[in-house]
């Protein structure tokens, strides 16, 4: 039997933070399973400084370094990561990340904690060692919605409660935060009780734009005469974008039911495009495989816009590798919305800002 010695790196909030020029406390985070940077970007927008980002995929690491050369990106498997070797991590306020979703998806056979790709045990290991003031972990909606995963949720609840954290779990829909996509995600937020008492789940920001509104300029950028006609047809929110895993998927816009919706929107979801339509492209229904080949394909950059990434965010790697980074990302606007509320709670607990503005609405009542 192996023996694991756990060292808790403990330091007070006042000792490990500094006041910025804005009068706000500087908040420091560790991002795990960072992928192509969706959650990391959103948390940056929420005011967090990333002390380190952990990611195993080399293309995703290259994406992070390309877009943020100042970020400290460590390419390693989370199971092989030992934070005790990095003294700077004793100063983190937030442990955040999107652990692999595959154990909780239909495509991954929903094996949950029996799947060797499940990294929730690693999250708990890091919490025990680092004792962050806050934790934010996102995953697929199945984790909260399926009764089969209730033992997993109970185990996580027991672990966090025993470590002294208050916590809540919510299903958040990306379209409620301005992302032009129907994308439900489970989000876990845990904090020290004195901080969690000030935490409020973010209020929705209103209706998102449609696929046609977001991508019209892009579709018309090479002189395609039918771009306006296409935009009028694509007058809906996008279905959930699916990135696939390292072992399978990622070369198209998801299962057949999703492709059928894309077809209704005038998109060929059989594969990802190399470029937007040129001036001589003619949109035709009922052509080719399942009647989709006569429709334009979306490029990686276009799908990234539908995930809420800014236009200048560059993905490194081949087309499929880049698309996987996009499809598996946590939309930055959603991460930013949750991150801002976490930041407010942390700063309020430290006395650097006024108490929270309002009590939570009935819609914000705990799910779990």
pTM score, two decimals?
0.86
Nearest Cα neighbor of 187 from 303, 339, 326 is 339
Check whether 355 has a pLDDT greater than 70.
no
CA distance 41 to 331: 9
pLDDT one-digit tens code per residue, 96-121: 998 755 554 444 444 434 445 567 88
CA-to-CA distance for 9 and 22, rounded, in angstroms?
Answer: 29
Q: How far apart are CA 162 and CA 230, in angstroms?
A: 55
pLDDT digits (tens, 9 = 90+) for 231-277: 999 999 999 998 766 665 567 998 899 999 999 999 999 999 999 99
Q: Mean pLDDT of all residues in the chain?
A: 85
More confident residue, 215 or 14: 215
Higher pLDDT, 113 or 279: 279
The Cα–Cα gap between 161 and 123 comes to: 14
The pLDDT of residue 314 is above 80: yes
Does residue 325 have a pLDDT over 70? yes
Question: Is 148 or 97 the better-scoring residue by pLDDT?
Answer: 97
Given the residues 33, 61, 101, 263, select the one marked as catalytic: 101
**Per-residue confidence (pLDDT) for residue 187, from 0 to 100:** 96
Q: Tell me the two tokens of residue 174.
A: 């990306």
Given a cut of 60, is residue 309 above it in pLDDT?
yes
Task: Please tell me what DSSP assigns to residue 327.
Answer: H
101 counts as catalytic: yes
Grade residue 343 by pLDDT with cuts at 50, 70 and 90: very high
The rounded distance, in Å, linking the Cα atoms of 158 and 154 is: 6
C-alpha distances out from residue 244 to 259, 269, 272, 315, Å: 14, 14, 13, 16
CA–CA separation, 236 and 295 (whole Å): 16
User: In the chain, what are the domains?
Assistant: 13-206+330-355 (3.40.50.150), 211-327 (no CATH)
């Amino acid at each position: 039997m192996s023996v694991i010695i756990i060292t808790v790196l403990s330091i007070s909030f006042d000792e490990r933070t500094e006041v910025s020029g804005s009068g706000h406390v500087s908040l420091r985070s560790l991002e795990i399973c960072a992928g192509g940077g969706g959650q990391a970007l959103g948390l940056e927008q929420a005011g967090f400084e990333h002390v380190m980002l952990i990611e195993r995929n080399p293309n995703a690491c290259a994406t992070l370094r390309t877009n943020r050369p100042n970020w400290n990106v460590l390419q390693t498997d989370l199971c092989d990561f030992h934070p005790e070797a990095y003294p700077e991590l004793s100063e983190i306020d937030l442990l955040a990340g999107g652990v692999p979703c595959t154990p909780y998806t239909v495509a991954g056979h929903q094996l949950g904690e029996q799947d060797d790709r499940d990294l929730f045990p690693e999250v708990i290991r890091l919490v025990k060692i680092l004792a962050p003031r806050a934790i934010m972990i996102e995953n697929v909606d199945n984790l909260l919605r399926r009764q089969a995963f209730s033992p997993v949720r109970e185990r996580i609840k027991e672990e966090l409660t025993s470590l002294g954290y208050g916590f809540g779990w919510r299903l958040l829909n990306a379209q409620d935060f301005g992302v032009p996509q129907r994308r439900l995600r489970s989000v876990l937020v845990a904090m020290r009780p004195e901080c969690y008492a000030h935490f409020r789940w973010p209020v929705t920001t209103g209706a998102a734009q449609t696929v046609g509104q977001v991508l019209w300029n892009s579709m018309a950028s090479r002189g395609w005469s039918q771009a306006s006609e296409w935009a009028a047809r694509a007058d809906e929110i996008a279905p959930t974008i699916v990135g696939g895993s390292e072992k399978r998927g990622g070369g198209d816009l998801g299962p057949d039911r999703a492709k059928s919706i894309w077809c209704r929107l005038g998109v060929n979801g059989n594969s990802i495009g190399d470029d937007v339509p040129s001036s001589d492209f003619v949109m035709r229904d009922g052509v080719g495989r399942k009647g989709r080949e006569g429709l334009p394909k979306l490029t990686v950059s276009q799908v990234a816009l539908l995930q809420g990434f800014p236009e200048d965010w560059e993905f490194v790697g081949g087309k499929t590798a880049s698309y996987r980074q996009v499809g598996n990302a946590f939309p930055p606007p959603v991460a930013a919305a949750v991150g801002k509320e976490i930041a407010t709670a942390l700063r309020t607990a430290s006395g650097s800002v006024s108490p929270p503005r309002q009590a939570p609405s009935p819609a914000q009542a705990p799910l779990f």
